[in-house]
């Protein structure tokens, strides 16, 4: 039954709503305003798909008048189109006072879903601080909304309580004009209690991706990347404690500020209470990044469990406050100075992510983070009571969460390793099987290694092609052997060892190893070989790129370490270091040819950092890692299907 009592608004009697509730279907801003004038507890306003051009004259500050109740909130629901796109409130050209949805402190109990808000600006008359929503009210939820190209993404004041942002995308907000102004942020929140869950937060254009002056924050299962200033900040307040759990925070290499997490900005007497961090993955991008910085005014106590803090920076803390720091079972970048109070720490060169540059912080099978976390954790909650706490969700692109898999031994970081979960939804089921089936290569294939976090590391025995010698080198080959302290599945040796040496122009017919590498960048990459020369006539190896040798003779080939076991070396026989020059990102072939027989190679590594000296970083992931190639051998065949059958659990 349809009635029309308000101009521009259709009323629909709907049986799924509370008794007496009304549905208002609107398709214009005047219709929305008319509905907001009369809407009451339990009612729903359905906003038809379309673009709603917001003007100054429409006076967004006075759209909201009423409240729902805790049991019967007012719902404002965007109707998605067939492609899943949201209705858009576009304030381009308008002067917006603080927010497109301006919710006063007497506008409580609202749920807003499926709407997009963009281009809110206070220029030229008002403060350059306009947001998608300016929230004074309490019990306010925004779900599956998208805030972009506003001056602030979301803004809440200290009048507001119980604000939930769930499954929202927030990006490209921040004032970018020439006028001098305080920093604007993707989130600038000051609620009594705030929860942010399953959100995709990226590209703050001016200030922080997340800035809080809230009394209490729960920040769970979010993705935070590409900040302009800080990634995540408790700028002040926090008297009722906060929880940062199951989230991924990736620093922007070219941000204006090197800090990742900030505790206190020097206003309002600093930051207080406790911050408990559980199962987060936090990745720096430059050597001057500070993972956690604390202002001298702050007294915040920090508790950290099961977190990964990784990347080129080893500056774990810039700690000027008077609070305590403690925790356990965190993975730290080797070289970090970890203060007393942290136990069961793991240090390493690489935590073993599938591909940070590609936005995938799931773990590879060899990661030391697997099963290395601890359960039985607690956090200091809103009431100041220690409460049991485990990461039960993990972020899924875009802007959602999946249940965190449970295998009896929790991993460190934001993702639990689960072989066979190809679509990364937290379970191994028929959807994954469909992806496996359509990816079958058979026994052909071969690993394509991915550069990740400034290097690519390969086991020599994992070459995608191993071609025996011909011509002058006929009868010689790179043989795969095991043991002798080698890593991975063994090592290769040019055999037989009878004193043969190959120089140009015969190099192309010498025993050949090909490695497929997906380079993330371009330019000079230095080659390290972890080898073991049996004698001075078995220490030289030819190297090249894309099938073209770079060295020409034992006098300028790459050298292997001598000694009594495998060791890293990056040195040519004459002068300088072996390197390849990559013209463009993408897949290239790195080649090794036998120069002197007898040469033994366990691993090789390429990096663009000239000063880097390897320990023994994990072998790099391949293009198929974390996907259908369950045994990580570069193909998808019956072995992988057999493993999948073992992993199958059905729905998560």
* Residue 647 sits in the site that holds Ca ion (CB under 5 A): no
* Residue 591 sits in the site that holds Ca ion (CB under 5 A): no
* Residue 631 sits in the site that holds Ca ion (CB under 5 A): yes
Q: Which residue is nearest to Ca ion (CB)?
A: 488
514 vs 631 by CB, closer to Ca ion: 631
Beta carbons of 105 and 159 less than 8 angstroms apart: yes
Q: How far is the CB of 164 from Ca ion (least distance, A)?
A: 27
220: three-class secondary structure by DSSP: strand
DSSP β-ladder status, 308-310 and 386-388: unpaired
Short-list 102, 107, 166, CA closest to 138: 107
Q: Which residue has tokens 């987060």?
A: 280
569: three-class secondary structure by DSSP: strand
Q: How far is the CB of 112 from Ca ion (least distance, A)?
A: 30
178 vs 483 by CB, closer to Ca ion: 483
* Residue 619 sits in the site that holds Ca ion (CB under 5 A): no
**CA separation for the pair 114, 86 (Å, rounded):** 6
Rg (CA), the chain: 29
**String of contacts with Ca ion for each residue 440-479, x by CB under 5 A:** -------------------x--------------------
Give the residues across from 424 on adjacent strands.
none
Beta carbons of 253 and 227 less than 8 angstroms apart: no
145 vs 463 by CB, closer to Ca ion: 463
Q: Which residue has tokens 């390493």?
A: 348
Q: How far is the CB of 110 from Ca ion (least distance, A)?
A: 34
**CA separation for the pair 212, 229 (Å, rounded):** 14
Q: Which of the ranges 87-95, 147-155, 424-432, 499-507 carries the binding residues for Ca ion, by CB under 5 A?
A: 424-432
23 vs 606 by CB, closer to Ca ion: 606
Count residues binding Ca ion (CB under 5 A): 20
Short-list 293, 294, 308, CA closest to 391: 308
Which of residues 488, 534, 562, 614 is near Ca ion by CB under 5 A?
Answer: 488
* Residue 398 sits in the site that holds Ca ion (CB under 5 A): no
Q: How far is CA 355 from the centre of its chain?
A: 9
45 vs 428 by CB, closer to Ca ion: 428
CB-count exposure of residue 2 (10 Å: 0-12, 13-18, 19+): exposed
Which of residues 147, 213, 629, 644 is near Ca ion by CB under 5 A?
Answer: 629
* Residue 602 sits in the site that holds Ca ion (CB under 5 A): yes
Q: Sign of the CA dihedral 457, 462, 464, 468?
A: positive
357 vs 371 by CB, closer to Ca ion: 371
Strands (E), 114-227: 116-118, 131-135, 140-143, 146-148, 152-156, 163-166, 169-171, 187-189, 193-197, 200-202, 210-212, 216-220, 223-225
Beta carbons of 460 and 601 less than 8 angstroms apart: yes
Residues 6+ apart with CB under 8 A from 525: 519, 579, 580, 581, 582, 606, 607, 608
233 vs 461 by CB, closer to Ca ion: 461
Which of residues 129, 141, 486, 503 is near Ca ion by CB under 5 A?
Answer: 486
* Residue 638 sits in the site that holds Ca ion (CB under 5 A): no
Beta carbons of 540 and 573 less than 8 angstroms apart: yes
Which of residues 90, 357, 371, 567 is near Ca ion by CB under 5 A?
Answer: 371
* Residue 432 sits in the site that holds Ca ion (CB under 5 A): yes
* Residue 514 sits in the site that holds Ca ion (CB under 5 A): no
* Residue 90 sits in the site that holds Ca ion (CB under 5 A): no
Q: Which of the ranges 27-35, 87-95, 294-302, 487-495 carries the binding residues for Ca ion, by CB under 5 A?
A: 487-495
Beta carbons of 225 and 399 less than 8 angstroms apart: no
Which of residues 139, 360, 411, 619 is near Ca ion by CB under 5 A?
Answer: 411
Which of residues 409, 430, 536, 583 is near Ca ion by CB under 5 A?
Answer: 409
- List of residues contacting Ca ion (CB under 5 A): 371, 407, 409, 411, 421, 423, 425, 427, 432, 459, 486-488, 491, 602, 629, 631, 633, 635, 640
């Amino acid at each position: 039954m349809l009635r029309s009592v308000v101009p521009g608004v259709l009323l629909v009697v709907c049986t799924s709503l509370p008794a007496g509730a009304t549905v208002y279907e609107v398709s214009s801003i005047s219709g929305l305003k008319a509905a907001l004038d009369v809407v009451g507890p339990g009612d729903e306003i359905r906003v038809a798909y379309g673009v709603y051009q917001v003007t100054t004259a429409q006076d967004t500050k006075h759209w909201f008048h009423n409240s729902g109740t805790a049991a019967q909130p007012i719902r404002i629901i965007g109707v998605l189109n067939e492609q899943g796109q949201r209705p858009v409130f576009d304030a381009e050209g308008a002067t917006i006072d603080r927010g497109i949805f301006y919710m006063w402190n007497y506008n409580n109990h609202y749920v807003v879903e499926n709407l997009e808000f963009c281009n809110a600006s206070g220029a030229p008359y008002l403060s350059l601080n306009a947001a998608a929503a300016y929230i004074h009210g309490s019990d306010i939820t925004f779900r599956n909304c998208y805030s972009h190209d506003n001056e602030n993404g979301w803004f809440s004041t200290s009048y507001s309580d119980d604000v939930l942002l769930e499954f929202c995308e927030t990006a490209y907000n921040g004032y970018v004009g020439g006028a001098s102004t305080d920093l604007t942020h993707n989130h600038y929140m000051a609620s009594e209690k705030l929860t942010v869950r399953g959100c995709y937060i990226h590209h703050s254009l001016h200030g922080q991706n997340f800035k809080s002056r809230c009394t209490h924050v729960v920040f769970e299962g979010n993705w935070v990347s590409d900040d302009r200033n800080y990634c995540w900040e408790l700028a002040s307040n926090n008297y009722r404690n906060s929880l940062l759990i199951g989230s991924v925070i990736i620093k922007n290499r070219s941000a204006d500020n090197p800090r990742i997490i900030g505790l206190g900005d020097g206003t309002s007497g600093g930051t207080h209470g406790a911050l408990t961090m559980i199962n987060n993955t936090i990745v720096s991008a430059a050597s001057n990044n500070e993972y956690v910085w604390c202002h001298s005014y702050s007294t915040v106590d920090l508790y950290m469990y099961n977190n990964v803090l990784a990347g080129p920076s080893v500056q774990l803390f810039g700690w000027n406050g008077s609070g305590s720091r403690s925790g356990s079972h965190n993975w730290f970048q080797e070289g970090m100075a970890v203060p007393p109070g942290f136990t069961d720490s793991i240090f390493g060169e690489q935590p073993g992510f599938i591909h940070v540059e590609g936005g995938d912080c799931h773990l590879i099978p060899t990661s030391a983070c697997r099963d290395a976390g601890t359960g039985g954790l607690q956090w200091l909650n809103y009431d100041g009571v220690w409460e049991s706490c485990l990461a039960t969700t993990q972020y899924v692109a875009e802007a959602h969460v999946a249940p965190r898999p449970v295998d009896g031994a929790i991993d460190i970081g934001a993702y639990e390793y689960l072989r066979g979960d190809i679509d990364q939804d937290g379970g191994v089921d028929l959807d994954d099987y469909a992806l496996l089936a359509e990816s079958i290569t058979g026994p052909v294939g071969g690993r394509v290694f991915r550069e990740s976090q400034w290097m690519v590391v390969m086991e020599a025995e994992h070459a995608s092609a191993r071609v025996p010698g011909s011509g002058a080198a006929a009868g010689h080959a790179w043989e795969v052997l095991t043991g002798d302290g080698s890593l991975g599945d063994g090592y290769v040796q040019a055999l037989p060892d009878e004193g043969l040496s190959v120089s140009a122009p015969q190099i192309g017919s010498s025993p050949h190893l090909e490695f497929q590498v997906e380079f993330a960048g371009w330019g000079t990459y230095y080659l390290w070989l972890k080898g073991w020369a049996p004698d001075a006539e078995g220490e030289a190896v030819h190297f090249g790129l894309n099938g073209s040798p770079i060295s020409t003779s034992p006098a300028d080939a790459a050298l292997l370490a001598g000694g009594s076991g495998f060791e890293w070396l990056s040195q040519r026989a004459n002068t300088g270091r072996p390197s390849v020059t990559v013209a463009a990102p993408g897949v290239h072939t790195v080649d090794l040819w036998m120069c002197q027989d007898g040469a033994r190679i366990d691993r090789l590594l390429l990096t663009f950092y000239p000063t880097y000296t390897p320990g023994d970083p994990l072998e790099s992931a391949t293009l198929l890692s974390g996907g259908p190639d369950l045994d990580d051998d570069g193909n998808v065949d019956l072995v992988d299907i057999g493993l999948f059958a073992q992993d199958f659990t059905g729905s998560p």
